[in-house]
Structure 1
Amino acid sequence: MSLRYAVLTLLDIEPGSGYDLKRRFERSVSHFWSASHQQMYRELHKLHEEGLLDCTEQRQEGKPDKKIYSLTEMGRAALREWVQRPASAQKIREPFLIQLFAGHLLDREQAREAVQRQLREHRALLQGYEEQNERVLQRDPAVNERYWLAHQTLLLGIEAEKTWIAWAENLLLQLEQK
């Protein structure tokens, strides 16, 4: 997948400015796809040049005009074509697991601290996902029905964090016994 389809998807849901898009990205797909602010703006400009996005300027008092992007019919067709293609499963890319793979270079206390640090981070991620899920469940049922599959990505994130936490807690118990 590329950033272009994340951008097209988010603008299919609702038109918006680059700033709006970045905020939406951070609240949704950033949990499983990353992009910098600069990458997002470059992609917006490229998609607009390719005719996949329309751009209208909205006047603002005392500020530069705001550019509002929306999908063109060509953009919607490109998104529809892409979403129907099979996607291959991706392998995990987790720097901490490489560090753990070299864990024989750590003493027991260093290993425990490293796992505990990751455990805190994953617990915080889980809490954030669960809070986001509560907000989703409070939305208009018609909106939830339309974006039911998008919601499934959040539920997978919750389950993945629960699994990660259980694995790390078990690893800490094993480190205590060594």
Structure 2
Amino acid sequence: MSLRYAVLTLLDIEPGSGYDLKRRFERSVSHFWSASHQQMYRELHKLHDEGLLDCEEQPQEGKPDKKVYSLTDKGRAELRDWVIQPAAPQKIREPFLVRMFAGHHLSQEELRSALNDQLHRHRGLLEIYQEQNERVLKSDPALQERYWLAHQTLLLGIEAEKTWVNWAENMLQQLEQKCEESS
């Protein structure tokens, strides 16, 4: 996948400015796809130049005009063509797991610290995702219906974070057992 389709998808849901798009991206797609602010703006301009997006300038008092982007028919067609293609499963690219693979170079304390750090990070993400889920569940039923598929990606994120938390807790427990056995 490329940022191109993430941008098209977010603008298909609702037109918006580059700032709007950045905020939507951070609250949703950024949990499973990364892009910098500059990359998103470059992609917006590229998609507009290709005729996949319309851009309407809205005057603002005391500020530069706001550019609001929306999909053209050509943009919707390209998005649909991309969506109907089968997606191959991606392998996990997780630097922490490579570090764990070489973890025999760490002392027990360094390993414990690294695992606790990961546990803390994944608990934090889990909390964020669960808060987002609560907001979704409290939202207007029409919005829930409209964003049902997007919500499913959030639910998968929750399950993935629960798995990370469980794995890190089990690793810490096993590490403690190994320490006790070697004492």
The TM-score range, normalised by the shorter chain, is over 0.9
Instruction: Report how far residue 150 of structure 1 moved.
Output: 1.0
Tell me the distance in 1 between the aligned counterparts of 2:68 and 2:145. Answer: 26
Partner of 1:64: helix, strand, or coil? Answer: strand
Alignment length (residue pairs): 178
Query: What is the alpha-carbon root mean square deviation over aligned residues?
Result: 0.6
Instruction: Report how far residue 22 of structure 1 moved.
Output: 0.3
Partner of 2:60: helix, strand, or coil? Answer: coil
**What is the match of residue 12 of structure 1?**
12
**What is the match of residue 94 of structure 2?**
94
**What is the match of residue 23 of structure 1?**
23
**What is the match of residue 181 of structure 2?**
none
Tell me the distance in 2 between the aligned counterparts of 1:27 and 1:92. Answer: 22
- % identity of equivalent residues: 79
Tell me the distance in 2 between the aligned counterparts of 1:89 and 1:76. Answer: 24
Tell me the distance in 1 between the aligned counterparts of 2:13 and 2:94. Answer: 30
Instruction: Report how far residue 146 of structure 1 moved.
Output: 2.0
How do 1:13-52 and structure 2 match up within 5 A? Answer: 13-52=13-52
One-letter identity of the residue aligned with 1:83: V
For residues 87-144 of structure 1, what are the alpha-carbon distances to aligned partners after superposition, in whole Å with 9 as ceiling and x for unaligned? 0000001111111111010011110010001000000000000000011111111121
One-letter identity of the residue aligned with 1:5: Y
Partner of 1:65: helix, strand, or coil? Answer: strand
Q: TM-score, normalised by structure 2?
A: 0.96
**What is the match of residue 110 of structure 1?**
110
Tell me the distance in 2 between the aligned counterparts of 1:108 and 1:152. Answer: 39
Q: TM-score, normalised by structure 1?
A: 0.99
Partner of 2:125: helix, strand, or coil? Answer: helix
Which of structure 1's runs of 4+ aligned residues deviate more than 3 A? none
**What is the match of residue 147 of structure 1?**
147
5+ residue gaps, structure 1, are none
Tell me the distance in 1 between the aligned counterparts of 2:74 and 2:138. Answer: 33
For residues 21-61 of structure 1, what are the alpha-carbon distances to aligned partners after superposition, in whole Å with 9 as ceiling and x for unaligned? 00000000000000000000000000000000000101111
Tell me the distance in 1 between the aligned counterparts of 2:74 and 2:146. Answer: 22
Instruction: Report how far residue 148 of structure 1 moved.
Output: 1.0
